[in-house]
Amino acid sequence: MPSPSSSNQIPDMPALLGWGGLVPFGLAALGTHSGVDPLVLYGFIGGTAYGAIILSFLGAVHWGLTMQDDRSPYWYVWSVTPGLLGFASLLIFDVNYRIMALIPLFGLAWSVDYQAAIRGLIPAWYMRLRTLLTAGAIISLAAMFLA
């Protein structure tokens, strides 16, 4: 039986933690649609702040992987880029514009991971999980935008 790292099977712990990581996005989206002013506000602030935090995590994955092998040092540059851009999005006062900045940043981070997966730099299971979680994050952010 192939190990999870060499197959498309997502290991249990990353799957559990990944799906759990979508809970704040879902709660934020629900809050923005609640009609209760404090929950709407917390939904927008919390959801977009969490999005920036997750972007930072997605970049940090590449920092860790680059330390492990002889990758191009440009991967270090990429590893800090999502976090910096996510932080910059938080400086946008209008929450709708902030969300419109975050959604393509998640797409950009996914596309860089996809290119890394094609080159065999990340496990196939990670890309499969990333695709599902990125879709969940983008759907949640879009739901917030529509509130």
pLDDT in tens, 78-130: 999 999 999 999 999 999 999 999 999 999 999 999 999 999 999 999 999 99
- Burial (CB < 10 A; 0-12, 13-18, 19+), residue 67, is exposed
**pLDDT for res 70:** 80
Over residues 11-31, the pLDDT tens digits come to: 999 999 999 999 999 999 999
Give the Cα separation of 72 and 30 in Å (integer): 41
pTM: 0.93
Over residues 34-55, the pLDDT tens digits come to: 999 999 999 999 999 999 999 9
Give the Cα separation of 69 and 51 in Å (integer): 29
Give the Cα separation of 35 and 16 in Å (integer): 31
pLDDT-based confidence at residue 6 (cuts at 50, 70, 90): low
pLDDT at 143 over 70: yes
**pLDDT for res 2:** 44
pLDDT at 32 over 80: yes
For residue 3, is it left (φ>0), alpha (ψ between -120 and 50) or beta? beta
